[in-house]
């Protein structure tokens, strides 16, 4: 749940790193903590056991800075990966805005990945969170180790939903920031679409109709994995289990139908978002909480100028 504080002009989003034990969730956060300038982050807090295994969560606040007049903050959390910490794992997922699933690429860890993914679906469902409503990035970690699964195998086994995927070796930092960039952008894109409505209910230019090259329909999933290009919704709200996982693993994805991302950008699915916003106009006086910053006012003017230009064909 994104928290928007109009008094301090702050937007705060919660991103959770989920995955099996020892898959590298805490390592991801440690690398981010080490590499980001201290002015852009807070302290990394680890609630860990004496053996340095996460007990409750790790927490790293990141201040991206001013975006369109809002101080934007991300709160990165990890969950404890060990199976018997499920109660605390479930608590960390509350109010999540985006998930990074950190999968261990080693062949011997495949079952743990699947178990953790199934557990994530269950915990989200128990928290009343619809997985189709939040962005997910799947990170295939430990790519530097020998005896690892190929990306194709991992995609088939863990990513039938077609989430954005990244390759990483968190211990030496490869792919850590790539993953973080993708999830943060997806979360902000999602936030914008959740809230973007113009004063009289006309969809904002650049809001629902904006090109979203990273979002395509699951039905157009290509035969080979398309890294960092596919995001899709979970059709059944996350009731995917190990039983039908095996079915997915042997089932060949449909051949490319010629419908690439460009074709789908203008598909009904995305247009419908705009219609939904139009159906619930927000009164003029509540938009921007009555006190928009000068910067936002100037952007509003430029929007009206653009709209006028569009109406008059200039």
Partner 1 sequence: MSSHSFVVYEEQVNQINAALLRMIKKAEAKCALLVDKDGHLITRQGFTQTLDTTALAALLAGSFASTKEIARLVGEPEFSVLFHQGKKDHIHVSLVGERCILAVLFDDRTTIGMVRLFAKETGDRLKEILTESDNKEEPAIDPEFARSAGSKIDDVFKE
Q: Which of residues 183-222 bind partner 1 (CB under 8 A)?
A: 184-185, 188-192, 194-199, 204-207, 210
Minimum Å distance from CB 255 to partner 1?
33
Residue 119 and residue 86 in contact, taking contact as beta carbons nearer than 8 Å: yes
What's the CA gap between 102 and 308, in Å, rounded?
47
CB of 165 to partner 1, least distance (A): 18
Which residues, numbered 49-78, are part of the site for partner 1 (CB under 8 A)? 56-57, 59, 61-62, 64-65, 67-70, 72-73, 75, 77
Q: Which two tokens stand for residue 89?
A: 């794992």
Of residues 64 and 261, the one with the C-beta less far from partner 1:
64
Nearest to 153 by CA among 123, 114, 188, 116: 114
Q: Shortest Cβ distance from residue 32 to partner 1 (Å)?
A: 8
Applying CB under 8 A, the span of 108-116, 156-164, 229-237, 288-296 interacting with partner 1 comes to 288-296
- CA distance between the termini of the chain: 40
Q: Label the pairing between strands 70-78 and 164-167.
A: unpaired
Least distance to partner 1, CB of residue 177, Å: 5
How far is residue 57's CA from residue 285's CA, in Å, rounded to a whole number? 41
Q: Which residues between 115 and 144 bind partner 1 (CB under 8 A)?
A: 127-130, 133-134
| Contact status: 87 vs partner 1 (CB under 8 A) | yes
Q: Which of 22, 33, 42, 233 binds partner 1 (CB under 8 A)?
A: 42
Q: Are 218 and 235 in contact (CB under 8 A)?
A: yes
**Considering only 6-14, 103-111, 136-144, 160-168, which stretch makes contact with partner 1 by CB under 8 A?**
6-14
Q: Does 152 bind partner 1 (CB under 8 A)?
A: no
DSSP-derived 3-state class of residue 312:
coil
Residue 171: which of 11, 29, 18, 16 has the closest Cα? 29
Size of the site for partner 1 (CB under 8 A): 81
């Amino acid at each position: 749940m994104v928290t928007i504080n109009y008094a301090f002009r702050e937007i705060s989003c919660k991103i959770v790193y989920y995955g099996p034990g020892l898959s590298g969730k805490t390592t991801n956060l440690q690398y981010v903590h080490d590499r980001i300038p201290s002015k852009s982050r807070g302290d990394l807090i680890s609630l860990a056991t004496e053996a340095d295994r996460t007990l409750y969560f790790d927490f790293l606040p990141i201040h991206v800075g001013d975006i369109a007049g809002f101080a934007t903050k991300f709160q990165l959390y990890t969950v404890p990966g060990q199976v018997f910490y499920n109660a605390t794992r479930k608590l960390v997922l509350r109010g999540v805005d985006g998930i990074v699933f950190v999968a261990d690429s080693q062949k011997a860890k495949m079952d743990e990945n699947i178990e953790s993914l199934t557990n994530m679906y269950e915990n989200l469902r128990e928290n009343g969170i619809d997985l189709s409503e939040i962005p997910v990035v799947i990170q295939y970690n430990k790519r530097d180790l020998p005896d690892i699964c190929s990306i194709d195998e991992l995609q088939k086994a863990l990513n039938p939903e077609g989430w954005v995927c990244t390759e990483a070796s968190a211990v030496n930092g490869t792919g850590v920031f790539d993953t973080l960039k993708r999830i943060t952008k997806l979360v902000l894109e999602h936030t914008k679409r959740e809230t973007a409505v113009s004063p009289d209910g006309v969809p904002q230019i650049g809001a629902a109709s904006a090109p979203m090259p990273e979002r395509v329909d699951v039905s157009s999933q290509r035969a080979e994995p398309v890294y960092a290009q596919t995001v899709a919704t979970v059709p059944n709200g996350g009731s995917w289990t190990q039983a039908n996982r095996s079915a997915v693993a042997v089932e060949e994805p449909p051949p490319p139908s010629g419908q690439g991302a460009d074709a789908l950008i203008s598909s009904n699915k995305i247009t419908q978002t705009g219609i939904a916003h139009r159906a619930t106009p927000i009164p003029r006086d509540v938009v921007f909480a009555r006190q928009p910053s000068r910067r936002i006012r100037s952007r509003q003017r430029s929007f009206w100028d653009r709209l006028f230009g569009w109406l008059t064909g200039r």
